[in-house]
């Protein structure tokens, strides 16, 4: 049983015991309906897979495994990114599609959940070959994607360039049909939304900032009197300087780090950042704007030598990348890949607050161990929804061909995240469940109600 299935089952069990939830369902009928919900929410509607036939520039023909998993369209069209990475597999894509359904439900975005994946290392292919892979992906899955069916977006290993290519191919394969909102995360010139690239990183940091500055500071008296162990963790870190370490310095991690660096509401200092090569550390805080400038000029990578640091006037120690997780810091912001904190390193984690910018960066075993020790984990389902929220705004703009300014996009993003936090946080700090469980219960409750009202439990 996957982690999502376990949490879904636990959430439905808690809801089944709450007689105020779906009160029309009683006795055996109630049990049957909730058994149906476990099955419906734990399994995808469709798993599409194929082998993309690609002719490389050297003339060799290869066949590359590709997936599109559609979990649920109960709330609206399927929605989810396309990942280009060598570790992609069917189970991973299925679990991420499930998470998208739950995330969209939690934040009341009228989309279902889906995910795509291609098993490649993009760095090993030329631009021409990547263009062909993108076109072939659309050709192979053209009948299951579309503006009102399933709207893909960028993910690990993809970006606006790939979405532009894919939208162009969708337009070619569907002449005369609506195409502009068939993909989101596109470039501005191709109908993308201002702020989409920064949306996930901004949303991740805003979730943390809102919790600590707005909610915890404003509710100190109530939180001090509660027995909730996570409330006391938050209170211990709300005042004074906070040391933050950021794992991953791509679009998500660099934007979130910059938000922390520039924040006037909390006394942050980003003391460590890492990418796939290196970790940079400075006790008094790193110059995040300078590191972003370096990454923009060096294919997204951080400095790896003293000379490079000097060239950009950055004061930092160069350390092993994996050591970042075990640093003695207050906050860990995880913006890389899945399963970064696991059974082998969970005992070495010293941070008391962890923000999941990436999807699933903490394994089930580690999650339980850290929660038992009072570590406050802001889960992916809550923290990293900025991308899909602004993708929804891009989708709307594509349908209406009326576009918002960047400030309007960010204002609406923050209002949407604030709305979710105002619903979740009072409940979370008032009961003993970890924040992840609270979010899942809330999300599953919404999905279950809609399924019941649509007559899908018979």
Close Cβ partners of 357 (under 8 Å, ≥ 6 residues apart)? 200, 201, 204, 248, 252, 253, 256, 333, 334, 335, 380, 383, 384
CA proximity to 274, closest of 240, 236, 304 = 304
Side by side, the strands of the sheet bearing 331-334 are 317-319, 279-281, 268-274, 242-247, 331-334, 353-356, 376-378
Close Cβ partners of 452 (under 8 Å, ≥ 6 residues apart)? 22, 25, 33
Return d(Cα 86, Cα 104) in angstroms, integer.
27
Q: What are phi and psi of 319, to 5 degrees?
A: -130, 175
Is 382 within 8 Å of 404 (Cβ atoms)? no
Tokens of 37: 């919900």
350 is catalytic: no
Close Cβ partners of 24 (under 8 Å, ≥ 6 residues apart)? none
Return d(Cα 172, Cα 252) in angstroms, integer.
32
Q: What are phi and psi of 403, to 5 degrees?
A: -115, 140
Tokens of 336: 């890389």
First to last CA, the chain: 25
Under DSSP, the state recorded for 341 is B
Q: Which of 115, 136, 243, 416 is catalytic?
A: 115
Helix (H, G, I), strand (E, B) or coil at 332: strand
CA proximity to 366, closest of 343, 332, 350 = 343
Q: What are phi and psi of 69, to 5 degrees?
A: -105, 125
Rg of the chain in Å (alpha carbons):
22
Is 451 within 8 Å of 37 (Cβ atoms)? yes
Catalytic residues: 115
């Amino acid at each position: 049983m996957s982690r999502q299935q376990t949490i879904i089952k636990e959430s439905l069990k808690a809801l089944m015991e709450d007689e105020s939830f779906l009160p029309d369902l009683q006795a055996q009928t109630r049990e049957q309906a909730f058994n149906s919900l476990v099955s419906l929410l734990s399994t995808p509607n469709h798993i599409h897979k194929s082998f993309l036939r690609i002719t490389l520039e050297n003339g060799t023909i290869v066949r590359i495994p590709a997936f599109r998993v559609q979990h649920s369209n109960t709330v609206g069209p399927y929605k989810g990114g396309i990942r280009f990475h060598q570790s992609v597999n069917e189970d991973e894509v299925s679990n991420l599609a499930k998470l998208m359904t739950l995330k969209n439900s939690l934040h009341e975005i009228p989309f279902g959940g889906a995910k795509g994946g291609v098993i490649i290392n993009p760095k090993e292919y030329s631009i021409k070959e990547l263009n062909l892979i993108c076109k072939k992906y659309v050709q192979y899955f053209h009948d299951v994607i579309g503006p009102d069916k399933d709207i893909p977006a960028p993910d690990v290993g993809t970006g606006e360039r790939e979405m532009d290519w894919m939208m162009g191919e969708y337009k070619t394969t569907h002449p005369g049909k609506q195409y502009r909102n068939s993909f989101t995360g596109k470039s501005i010139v191709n109908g993308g939304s201002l702020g989409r690239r920064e949306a996930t990183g901004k949303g991740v940091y805003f979730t943390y900032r809102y919790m600590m500055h707005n909610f915890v500071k404003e509710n100190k008296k109530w939180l001090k009197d509660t027995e909730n162990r996570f409330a006391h963790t938050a209170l211990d870190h709300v005042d004074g300087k906070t040391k933050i370490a950021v794992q991953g310095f791509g679009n998500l991690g660099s934007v979130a780090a910059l938000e922390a660096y520039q924040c006037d509401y909390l006394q942050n200092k980003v003391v460590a950042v890492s990418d796939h090569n290196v970790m940079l550390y400075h006790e008094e805080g790193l110059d995040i704007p300078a590191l972003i400038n370096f990454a923009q000029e060096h294919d997204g990578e951080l400095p790896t030598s003293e000379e490079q640091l000097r060239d950009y006037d950055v004061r930092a120690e160069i350390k092993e990348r994996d050591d970042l997780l075990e640093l003695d810091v207050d906050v860990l912001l995880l913006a890389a890949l899945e399963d970064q904190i696991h059974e082998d390193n969970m005992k070495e984690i010293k941070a008391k607050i962890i923000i999941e910018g990436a999807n699933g960066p903490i394994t089930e075993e580690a999650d339980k161990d850290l929660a038992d020790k009072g570590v406050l984990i802001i889960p992916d389902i809550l923290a990293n929804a900025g991308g899909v929220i602004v993708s929804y705004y891009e989708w709307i703009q594509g349908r209406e061909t009326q576009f918002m300014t960047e400030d309007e996009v960010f204002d609406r993003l923050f209002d949407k995240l604030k709305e979710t936090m105002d619903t979740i946080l009072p409940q979370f700090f008032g009961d003993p469940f970890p924040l992840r469980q609270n979010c899942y219960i809330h999300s599953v409750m919404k999905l279950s109600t809609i399924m019941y009202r649509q007559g899908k439990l018979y």
